[in-house]
């Protein structure tokens, strides 16, 4: 019971933060009403020791005496005729007022009430709050804290009114909520969670595993894809763990897993891509958001990593790779495109040479051609053509194919060429991960 | 009251360590009617004229019956009032009465014919300006399929009239070809169903079904009398979640804590657990920060635009905040969510439900697509009709009243709501000035059944009153103010329909 004093002392006095009764109840897993009493107790003790060291806000609830006109308003009888325009428009109804006030205004506000039914401390802060809207940020923490350390039956513990009739349907596959929600993450529980992981060092290197998930395509898009992909050619990090054919070192992502994952989340793949697209445009403006998303990603990776350790004995090898490659934050390679798109065209490619792990050759592409016909209409035609490519010239300004397209998914070869293509897409100033959106983009 | 000690629910004491009571929320009996649901595959090819025709055909018999009874023995100057079938049949100098549709000729009212003649094909933005001009330049006319006649007379000054309402007028045609109005009758309140009229499985067979005045049959079928839970219904509108304007963010938080029953003391929390349902009547998202695309910055426009979608101009945060708000509340309280003028739904009446895809967190509480049962989070149409705890409820996001408000010189919004009930039309100004879907077979805005509770959201201030009809109907009218501006929510007792309001303030 005494640990709330410790918690409050640390939060308020040491960390200089604002604590509301809800945050306290979430942090200590106590009933909201108990938290209100704890805040009062702490406030009293501290201010007895050092006056004015803590500043509280209070909630009042009750009937407020309204200035003046309350008495002369007469309860209006209903008028069945519409001619009652001169009468007071509305009936008089009881009004309850819930006020949030600073401790300085408490007495004054109390005197405005004719009856107060509830009074409790709302928040404590080490300094007077200039703007009560600041407390909104604390609510955000409450929201995140209650998600982070979700406990069974939270309503019972926190004192929320329970509803036995609540109906919720199970969803077949949820898009990852974190990726779709760029929010400033001030979750106090997150670090704790990470520490509890067995190998924090390994947690960060698992990034490539995220690649097949459509939901994380958004994070992919935030990074300068071409550069990262090229770097990856040196040491492909965790991707190697999946590489069935060890001779082909450039395989950036586990294809099989990708295919499976695509199927598993097929219904949601649209969501993922939609998410990805806008993100690419805000990457530069929104460092805060991306860093919070990164933090969230790390958490997930840590989780994935733990799963991996249980099943995969290639762990050590991967760790060596990790030492070689210090790119902790290295983004995953572009996601392989879903299989559904293969039907649209039949690309072919001829690999003319493989030197030092690099391939070059020609491949077949569909080019878009726009001409003005005799009536002055713009006609767009698609023509098949060949273009040469090579692996290492990826970010160069070679005439980009009108749309990044996709090869058969089973060969490693194909995968790398898909990478090349989306790189070209990126070079052309587009989003870069070769999804359905760039397929339709105008050149 | 300035003594802290005298306060009953005072939590200003040391933790007692006693086990807190657990409160269970009152159940909500909820049967939505799908009166305003449009087909997914809907055509916009039709003309709007059909709506006026349908409305007149449906309401003319009623208003004629009322007028015939009222004016049966009316003799003015030795001349009995005679009924004429069509507006065109009115003879000069004869005392007669006729039923038809009101059309308001107003200089300030947008006129599609003007726009067409000026070769303007873009719809003008909706403004808040009144059409009403205080200089007698506005003309009230009565029309039917045969023709149109101007109505004059002092009598008109005392009644609210807008385009699209069906009335019967008595008077004589003067030398100017205008009808001097002596008396005027509305269709008045429609028949009111008994409480608990909607049968157990809510009828979901589309609008036609639920609209039939078949209440007698339903009462017979409803063998087991249902009982009210004695709870309260909370109504809020204009939450106005915004990414930039945080001026009422803490009030929104307090509202959340209030509805969850985490704020206040155990005694008050026990009362709060009586709130069985939350109705959000429009404008949950603020429009303020949606600025027009800056035409001067081509660089910005070129950047990332796919499918004409400019990701830089869209801010998802308001809808995320709303989603967070809803998903926090939903485990504790069922919510009916109406769209409003600013919400991500279609702009024309009837607004269709906000798509659950807007709410990644809350959508698990919505009804599964294609299922007939209502969702725990029910995203519904605007206007919306349904039965809550046995009471027939009609709720709108407020556009219908806002539009009528532009026609008249008064501020009496409750009077406008009352007038709508007496016109038996919940959106008379559609399709003239209130954007509307061009209905072909049915005018759903005609009220066939009188609601017990008529809620209009997004109004400048709170107001409520009860109106009564000839046949014992009683309608509780509630104008719900913007929460973002007033911090007020409305609580309705689900047994007595008594209203109280709660004001939430900070600072």
Q: Tens of pLDDT along B61-94?
A: 999 999 999 998 888 888 888 899 999 999 988 8
How close, in Å, is residue A423 to chain B by CA atoms? 17
Q: Are strands B166-173 and B275-281 parallel, antiparallel or unpaired?
A: unpaired
Interchain proximity B364–A169, CB inside 8 Å = yes
Which residues are CB-neighbours of A351 under 8 A, at least 6 positions away? A359, A360, A361, A413
Task: Using alpha carbons, select from A185, A152, A175, A140 the residue that is nearest to residue B328.
Answer: A140
DSSP state of A201: H
Interchain proximity B265–A117, CB inside 8 Å = yes
Interchain proximity B11–A78, CB inside 8 Å = no
Q: Residue B503, class by beta-carbon neighbours within 10 Å (0-12 exposed, 13-18 middle, 19+ buried)? A: middle
Average the pLDDT over B170-194 and give the result: 92
pTM score, whole prediction:
0.68
Distances (CA, A) of B421 to A391, B426, B432, B451: 73, 7, 19, 9
Tokens of A343: 């039907």
Q: How many C-beta neighbours within 10 Å does residue B60 have?
A: 17
DSSP state of B40: S
Rounded CA gap, B143 and B53, in Å? 11
Tokens of B224: 């087991």
Using a CB–CB cutoff of 8 Å, tell me whether A384 touches chain B. Answer: no
pLDDT number for residue A208: 43
How many Cα neighbours within 13 Å face the side chain of A297?
A: 30
CATH placement of domain B30-43+190-503: 3.60.21.50
Interchain proximity A59–B365, CB inside 8 Å = no
Interchain proximity B361–A177, CB inside 8 Å = yes
The residue of chain A with its CA nearest to that of B501 is: A95
Rounded CA gap, A16 and A6, in Å? 14
Domain locations along chain B: 30-43+190-503, 49-185
Q: Are strands B335-338 and B377-379 parallel, antiparallel or unpaired?
A: parallel
pLDDT (tens place) for every residue of chain A, 443 residues total: 578 889 999 989 899 889 999 999 988 888 999 999 999 999 999 989 988 889 999 999 999 876 534 333 444 444 333 333 334 678 888 999 999 999 999 999 998 899 899 999 999 999 888 888 888 888 888 877 777 776 777 777 888 888 888 888 875 554 444 444 444 444 444 443 444 444 444 444 444 444 444 444 444 444 444 444 444 444 444 544 554 444 444 444 444 444 444 444 444 434 433 443 344 444 444 455 556 666 767 777 777 777 766 655 554 554 544 454 444 444 445 444 444 444 444 445 555 555 555 666 777 777 777 777 777 788 777 777 777 766 554 444 444 444 444 444 444 444 444 444 444 444 444 445 567 766 776 65
Domains (range + CATH), chain A: 3-70+89-158 (3.90.1030.20), 190-324 (no CATH), 339-440 (no CATH)
Which of B160, B187, B241, B264 should we substitute to test contact with A (largest number of A Cβ atoms within 10 Å)?
B264
Class of domain B49-185: mainly beta
Which of A1, A114, A162 lies at the smallest CB-CB distance from B17?
Answer: A1
The answer to whether B379 and B337 are in contact (CB under 8 A) is: yes
Helices A135-148 & A21-28, crossing angle to 10 degrees? 20
Which residue would you say has higher pLDDT here, A403 or B178? B178
Interchain proximity A161–B24, CB inside 8 Å = yes
Which of B10, B25, B462 lies at the smallest CB-CB distance from A119?
Answer: B10
Backbone angles phi, psi at B2, to 5 degrees: -135, 15
User: B505: which chain A residues are within 8 Å (Cβ-Cβ)?
Assistant: 97-100
Rounded CA gap, A138 and A144, in Å? 10
Tokens of A14: 């040491």
Using a CB–CB cutoff of 8 Å, tell me whether A48 touches chain B. Answer: no
For B229, the 3-state DSSP assignment is coil
């Amino acid at each position: 019971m005494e640990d709330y004093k410790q918690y409050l002392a640390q939060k308020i006095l040491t960390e200089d933060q604002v604590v509301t009764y809800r945050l306290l109840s979430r942090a200590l897993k106590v009933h909201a009403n108990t938290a209100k009493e704890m805040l009062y107790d702490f406030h009293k003790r501290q201010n007895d020791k050092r006056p004015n060291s803590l500043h509280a806000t209070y909630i009042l609830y009750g009937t407020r005496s309204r200035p003046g006109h309350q008495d002369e308003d007469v309860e209006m009888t209903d008028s069945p005729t519409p001619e009652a325009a001169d009468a007071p428009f509305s009936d008089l109804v009881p009004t309850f007022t819930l006020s949030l006030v600073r401790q300085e205004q408490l007495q004054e506000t109390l005197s405005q009430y004719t009856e107060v039914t509830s009074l409790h401390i709302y928040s404590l802060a080490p300094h007077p709050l200039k703007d009560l809207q600041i407390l909104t940020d604390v609510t955000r923490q409450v929201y995140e804290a209650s998600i982070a350390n979700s406990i069974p039956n939270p309503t019972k513990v926190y004192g929320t009114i329970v509803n036995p009739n609540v109906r919720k349907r199970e969803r077949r596959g949820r898009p990852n909520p974190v990726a779709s929600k760029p929010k400033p993450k001030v979750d106090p529980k997150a670090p704790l969670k990470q520490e509890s992981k067995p190998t924090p060092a390994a947690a960060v290197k698992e990034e490539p595993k995220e690649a097949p998930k459509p939901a994380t395509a958004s994070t992919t898009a935030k990074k300068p894809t071409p550069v990262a992909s090229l770097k990856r050619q040196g040491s492909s990090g965790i991707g190697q763990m999946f590489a069935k054919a060890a001779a082909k070192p450039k395989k950036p992502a586990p294809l099989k897993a990708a295919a499976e994952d695509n199927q598993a989340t097929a219904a949601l793949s649209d969501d993922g891509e939609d998410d990805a697209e806008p993100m690419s445009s805000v990457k530069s403006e929104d460092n805060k958001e991306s860093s919070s998303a990164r933090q969230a990603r790390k958490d997930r990776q840590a989780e994935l990593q733990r799963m991996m350790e249980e099943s995969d004995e290639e762990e050590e090898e991967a760790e060596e790779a990790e030492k070689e490659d210090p790119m902790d934050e290295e983004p995953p390679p572009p996601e392989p495109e879903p299989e559904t798109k293969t039907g649209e065209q039949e690309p072919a490619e001829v690999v003319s040479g493989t030197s030092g792990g690099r391939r070059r050759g020609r491949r077949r592409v569909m080019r878009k051609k726009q001409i003005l016909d005799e009536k002055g209409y713009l006609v767009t035609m698609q023509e098949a053509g060949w273009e040469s490519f090579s692996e290492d010239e990826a970010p160069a300004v070679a005439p980009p194919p009108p749309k990044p397209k996709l090869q058969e998914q089973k060969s490693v070869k194909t995968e790398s060429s898909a990478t090349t293509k989306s790189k070209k897409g990126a070079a052309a100033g587009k989003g870069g991960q070769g999804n359905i959106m760039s397929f339709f983009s105008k050149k | 009251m300035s003594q802290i000690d005298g306060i009953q629910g005072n939590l200003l004491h040391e933790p007692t360590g006693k086990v807190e009571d657990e409160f269970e929320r009152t159940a909500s009996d909820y049967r939505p009617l799908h009166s305003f649901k449009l087909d997914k595959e809907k055509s916009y090819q039709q003309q709007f004229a059909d709506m006026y025709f349908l409305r007149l055909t449906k309401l003319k018999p009623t208003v004629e019956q009322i007028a015939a009874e009222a004016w049966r023995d009316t003799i003015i100057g030795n001349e009995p009032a005679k009924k004429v079938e069509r507006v065109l049949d009115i003879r000069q100098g004869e005392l007669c009465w006729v039923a038809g549709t009101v059309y308001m000729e107003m200089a300030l009212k947008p006129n599609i014919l003007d726009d067409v003649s000026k070769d303007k094909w873009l719809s003008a933005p909706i403004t808040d300006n009144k059409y009403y001009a205080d200089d007698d330049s506005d003309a009230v006319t009565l029309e039917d399929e045969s023709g149109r006649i101007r109505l004059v007379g002092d009598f008109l000054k005392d009644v609210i009239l807008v385009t699209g309402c069906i009335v019967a007028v008595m008077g004589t045609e003067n030398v100017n070809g205008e009808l001097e109005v002596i008396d005027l009758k509305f269709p008045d309140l429609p028949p009111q169903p008994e409480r608990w009229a909607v049968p157990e499985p809510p009828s979901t067979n589309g609008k036609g079904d639920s609209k039939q005045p078949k209440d007698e049959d339903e009462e017979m079928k409803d063998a087991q009398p249902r009982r009210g839970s004695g709870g309260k219904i909370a109504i809020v509108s204009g939450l106005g979640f915004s990414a930039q304007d945080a001026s009422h963010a803490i009030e929104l938080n307090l509202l959340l804590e209030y509805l969850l029953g985490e704020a206040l003391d155990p005694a008050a929390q026990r009362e709060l657990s009586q709130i069985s349902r939350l109705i959000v009547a429009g404008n949950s998202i603020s429009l303020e920060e949606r600025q027009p695309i800056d035409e001067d910055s081509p660089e910005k426009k070129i950047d990332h635009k796919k499918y004409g979608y400019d990701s830089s101009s869209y801010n998802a945060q308001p809808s995320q905040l709303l989603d967070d708000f809803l998903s926090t509340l939903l485990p504790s309280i069922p919510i009916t969510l109406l769209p409003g003028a600013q919400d991500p739904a279609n702009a024309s009446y009837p607004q269709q439900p906000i798509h659950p895809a807007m709410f990644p967190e809350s959508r698990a509480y919505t009804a599964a697509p294609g299922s007939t049962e209502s969702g725990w989070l029910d995203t519904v149409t605007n206007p919306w009709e349904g039965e809550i705890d046995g009471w027939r409820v009609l709720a709108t996001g407020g556009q219908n009243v806002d539009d009528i408000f532009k026609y008249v010189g008064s501020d009496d919004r409750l009077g406008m709501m009352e007038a709508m009930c007496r016109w038996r039309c919940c959106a008379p100004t559609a399709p003239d000035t209130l954007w509307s879907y061009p209905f072909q077979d049915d005018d759903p805005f005609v009220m066939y059944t009188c609601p017990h509770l008529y809620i209009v959201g997004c109004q400048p201030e709170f107001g409520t009153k009860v109106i009564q009809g000839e046949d014992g109907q009683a309608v509780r009218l509630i104008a719900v103010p913007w929460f973002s501006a007033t911090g007020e929510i409305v609580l309705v007792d689900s047994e007595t329909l008594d209203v109280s309001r709660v004001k939430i303030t900070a600072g």
